[in-house]
Amino acid sequence: MCGLPNRDASFSCDPRLMAHPWIAERTLAFDSSGIRKIFDLAAKLKNPVNLSIGQPNYDVPDRIKEALFSAVREGRNGYSPTQGIAPLRDALRRRFVEPLGQDEREIFVASGTSGGLVLTMLALVNPGDEVIFFDPYFVMYPSLVRMVGGVPVIIESGPDFRLDPQRVADAITPRTKIILINSPGNPTGVKGSTEDLKQIAELAAEKNICLVSDEIYSQFCYDEPFVSPARFNPQTVVIDGFSKSHGMTGWRLAYVHGPREIIDTMLKLQQYTFVCAPHPVQWAGIEALEVDMTEYVDQFRSKRDRIVAGLRDTFELAPPSGAFYAFPKLPWGTGDEFIRAAIEQELLIIPGSIFSRHDTHFRISFAADDAILDRGIEILQRLARR
């Protein structure tokens, strides 16, 4: 299919793209994100109950905005060093790298976690290399892997969405290059147990496979503290950022840390692609690290409780312990049928098939006002009882 290696036959090529002779083959290996279609629909509704959005519903705290304004006023508007400004890297190193006690670990500032993921794939994946990750997955993963000619090897995590080390072990082949994990995860909100993360980390080390940990939801852990698998495997590449934690999705600020040679290679690639993360935003990032976000996380914990309490009796739901998503099972019909019925009631949710090879669940983002959440719960209950 599309001339690219593929172990997962569920993707399709967009015939409109195939029609134009100039379009590169690598772009035919994936479709555009189905989430956009929901956002387009949202724009048409007058008073939507929008539980589809993957970003916090709070604005960037004022102190961080002021730091950005100052940086711009002070003329910090040119390029920054490729690896990011030294004071931000130092602050990030102190906060996230030193506690790991791994001297060989290097860190750089990336243009969003997405940028970090792109550079990771470009740096590590040869055509035909396999990248293992769990289903359901963040929408970008299969496409990113295919973009660089890699082969997504997608393993089940259902019905409880556990990151089961045995399933990872069973999927390893001589072509496995990366194990990519995301805990707490999008779209399930489920956080891997310390024991599972430890075993996956040790398995990667034992098999000499690169473990990549997407930790974008690390600040949103509601029941237990966050644990990075890097603690158990110093070769782990960690990608995290400010988008979700500080409501800064449009500012494109993230960081990647890992083995020095891999980070150096990613920097070589950053030179010729992103060049640098937005420079004034990097100065604001230093301020962001000083802001205590606990109250925001506490609010999200109570939203999580609200959603779980509202849906528990009606829907089959693996309780989310992190991020700001819940991933209930469809009560009837296909995702398309259920989402269509929801949209008729002005409720916007995302069909699970966007994050999965199965059409069995749907994603709710609980990053919304409590009144919106309550309306959403009411509509969902009504729909389920239809």
Interacting residues with ligand PMP (CB under 6 A):
54, 112-114, 138, 182, 186, 214, 216, 241, 243, 249, 254
Give min distance, CB of 174 to ligand PMP, in A.
Answer: 28
Give min distance, CB of 373 to ligand PMP, in A.
Answer: 19
> How far is residue 264 from each of residues 111, 120, 218, 256, 269, measured CA to CA in Å?
16, 11, 24, 11, 9
Give the phi and the psi of residue 107 in degrees, each rounded to 5. -135, 145
CB 286 within 8 A of CB 87: yes
Give min distance, CB of 222 to ligand PMP, in A.
Answer: 17
Give min distance, CB of 248 to ligand PMP, in A.
Answer: 8
Tokens of 263: 């980070």
DSSP 36-96: HHHHHHHHH-SS-EE----S-SSPPPHHHHHHHHHHHHTT--SPPPTT--HHHHHHHIIII
Distance between CA atoms of residues 72 and 5, nearest Å: 46
Beta-carbon count within 10 A of 19 CB: 8
Give min distance, CB of 141 to ligand PMP, in A.
Answer: 8
Distance between CA atoms of residues 320 and 326, nearest Å: 6
> How far is residue 60 from each of residues 146, 239, 243, 260, 361, measured CA to CA in Å?
34, 21, 10, 32, 31
Beta-carbon count within 10 A of 20 CB: 7
Give min distance, CB of 178 to ligand PMP, in A.
Answer: 15
